[in-house]
Amino acid sequence: MRFPTFSLNGFGKSKSLRLFSCLVPEGTQHPAFFISARFNTVSHTSSGIPMADHDKPRDIRSLFTQFRTSDHWAVSLARDLLWVVAVVGAIALTLFLICGTWPAVVTIESGSMVPNMNIGDLVVVVQKDRYGELMTWEEGKAANVPKFNSYGDVIIYKPNGNTAVHPIIHRAVAYANTSTPLTEIRGNQLRSNYTAPSDGYITWGDHNRNPDQFEIYDKIGTPAPVKDEWIVGKALFTVPLVGYLPLHIWEVIAAVIIIMILHELYLKSREAKTEGKGSKGSKKKAGKNQK
């Protein structure tokens, strides 16, 4: 008896082939051998034609089922995180469809609108002409349509069109144009007429002493009258205190992840205790049967 040798030319290096030679009696005219590969099993027959037996690749459905039913703590945590992302995404999409603008919610970060809007309030924002045309203080008073305990829509706008700073949320009190100087704002007579450098809305925080266009802000300077294209939207309603969550979003995310991990560990420990009790009961029952 002898060990036949074979040439393996043509197989890629990545296959990591291992050759297993079978004992073949001398005189055999048609030796057969088998090659075991990491991914495929290739067999040579007496005719010399390789026969490939490929493993069936896992389809997406089976992988999804395995991911959905796995009890591994990391997979469970990943499922929970994906669920949270899906819920938040669905809420964001719904808000966008209803409000027609983005962001659809903003948080009050200062006291410039106190007492009608307070720090930590979550404000739902809609397009400026959705659910009614945008109204200034003068127009709201004339139509007797109050908004947030006063007249005029509260708008969210980018000061001077600057996207590098946080938008401002103040009340639209008048509309100014370059051809007609303003003599009064919100019923208050001005010491001197105001001639706008460009057409736009005059805005005023309910708790501030002067309109925005009469003040100087850090990193902004003096805001110009608000043009239509600078307006993000107008306030529809507020939810008190909920705005503290986005103000501390990273702390909230960290707390949620920690709670989810602790919950998974608790479930695992409870399952381990249940399995331990079950195995002890089985052993006791087996001992009684032997007696």
Report in angstroms the alpha-carbon separations of 44 from 2, 37, 276: 19, 13, 51
**Apex 200 CA angle, 195 and 202, nearest 5:** 75
Do 143 and 218 have their domain in common?
yes
Same domain membership, residue 45 and residue 164? no
Let me know whether 116 and 239 are in one domain.
yes
- Higher per-residue confidence, 245 vs 55: 245
Question: What percent of the chain clears pLDDT 90, i.e. is strictly above it?
Answer: 47
> Is 116 found in the same domain as 49?
no
pLDDT higher for 37 or 122? 122
Same-domain check for residues 169 and 238: yes
- The whole-number pLDDT of residue 17 equals 38
pLDDT digit string (tens) for 2-39? 444 444 444 444 443 343 344 444 454 444 433 343 43
103 located within any domain:
yes
| Residue of 275 and 152 predicted with greater confidence | 152
Query: pLDDT for 68-115, tens place per residue?
Result: 888 787 887 788 888 888 988 898 899 889 999 988 999 999 999 999
Most confident of 68-77, 211-220, 255-264, 267-276: 211-220
Does residue 102 sit in the same domain as residue 231?
yes
Predicted TM-score (pTM) of this structure: 0.64
Q: In this structure, are 49 and 184 located in the same domain?
A: no
Residue 34 domain boundaries = 13-54
Give me the CATH number covering residue 174: 2.10.109.10
Residues 115 and 212 grouped into a single domain: yes
**Rounded mean pLDDT, 120-149:** 95
Can you tell me the distance from the alpha carbon of 220 to that of 51, in angstroms, rounded to the nearest whole number?
75
* Residue 257 resides in a domain: no
Question: Of 224, 245, 266, which residue sits at a domain end?
Answer: 245
Are 124 and 235 members of one domain? yes
- Asked whether residue 201 is domain-assigned, the answer is yes
Residue 77 lies in a domain: no
Q: How many domains does the chain have?
A: 2
Pairing of strands 154-157, 168-176: antiparallel
Domain final position from 39, 54, 69: 54
